[in-house]
Amino acid sequence: MSEQVDAGETEERPGKRVRADAQRNTDALLSAAAEVFATSGVDAPVRQITAKAGVGAGTLYRHFPQRSDLIAAVFRHEVDACADAAPVLAAQHEPLEALIRWLRRFTGFIGTKHGLSAALHSGDPAYAALPAYFQQRFVPVLRGLLDRAAEAGEVRADVDPYDLLRATANLTLPAREDDGHTERMVALLVDGLRFGARRPVRGAG
């Protein structure tokens, strides 16, 4: 499922094999950067990332020549991880429960995005493709969960996945410290979904 769009993932041509240690370090950098970005934001010092990854500075710059390359790669990586969680949850839980759990997973993802929003609006063309990628991966995933829950009669069928995605993201982003606010609001959203399950209200957006 991650392979449906792999353009730009530290691009590798078919003719070129990647050395094992190179791959290992790339992975270590990605997960270290993800942790550091979540803790200190995307403006965190580079050395903090290389230290956590147990890697020299040169290694980072060979794999990610521009800072935006690293940020974009981490972002894509996490978008993939979050999107890929959906089918797993769908296989393990009832439709409604799977939807609820995935939305929780999604808010957890959004909550780690301190300062990314600023980077996205910085005008740097390197970030231009990210919102599209975000939408492209998540909308079908959420649509699948919604459709399944709607078929089971658990939620209404007249909700646009993209609207729900944006609403959930917007509820989550402004929360600097989580005091349960996000969870309560998302729960409210889900209750709203369930409300019209069997008597769908067309115009009552």
Could you list the residues that contact its own copies (CB under 8 A)?
A: 118, 121-123, 176
Contact 131, 184 (CB under 8 A): no
Residue with smaller CB distance to DNA, 47 or 184:
47
Residue 157 is encoded by which pair of tokens? 């069928």
Among 14, 15, 58, 180, binds DNA (CB under 7 A): 58
Smallest distance from the beta carbon of 151 to its own copies, in angstroms?
41
* Tokens encoding 104: 């929780």
For residue 107, give both structure tokens: 């808010």
Picked from its own copies, DNA, none, the partner binding residue 15 (CB below 5 to 8 A depending on kind) is: none
Q: Per CB under 7 A, does 120 bind DNA?
A: no
- Shortest Cβ distance from residue 115 to its own copies (Å)? 9
Nearer to DNA, 44 or 175 (CB): 44
Print the binding letters for residues 155-184 with DNA: x by CB under 7 A, - otherwise: ------------------------------
In the block, tokens 């392979």 appear at 3
Q: From its own copies, DNA, none, which one binds at residue 176 (CB under 5 to 8 Å depending on kind)?
A: its own copies
3-state SS class at 169: helix
Measured distance CA(143)–CA(145) in Å, rounded:
5
Task: Give the C-alpha separation, 81 to 38, whole Å.
Answer: 15
- 122 is in the binding site of which of its own copies, DNA, none (Cβ under 5 to 8 A by kind)? its own copies
Distance CA 21, CA 25 (A): 6
Q: Identify which of residues 175 and 189 has a Cβ nearer to its own copies in the complex.
A: 175
Please state the closest distance from residue 105 (CB atom) to DNA, in A. 30
Query: Distance between CA 96 and CA 172 in Å, rounded?
Result: 21
Minimum distance from residue 29 beta carbon to DNA (Å): 9
CA separation for the pair 105, 82 (Å, rounded): 7
Distances (CA, A) of 83 to 18, 134, 141, 190: 26, 10, 6, 19
Length of the chain: 205
Interface pattern 2-31 for DNA (x via CB under 7 A): ---------------xxxxxx-xxx-----
Which residues form the interface with DNA (CB under 7 A)?
17-22, 24-26, 43-48, 54-59, 61-63, 65, 67
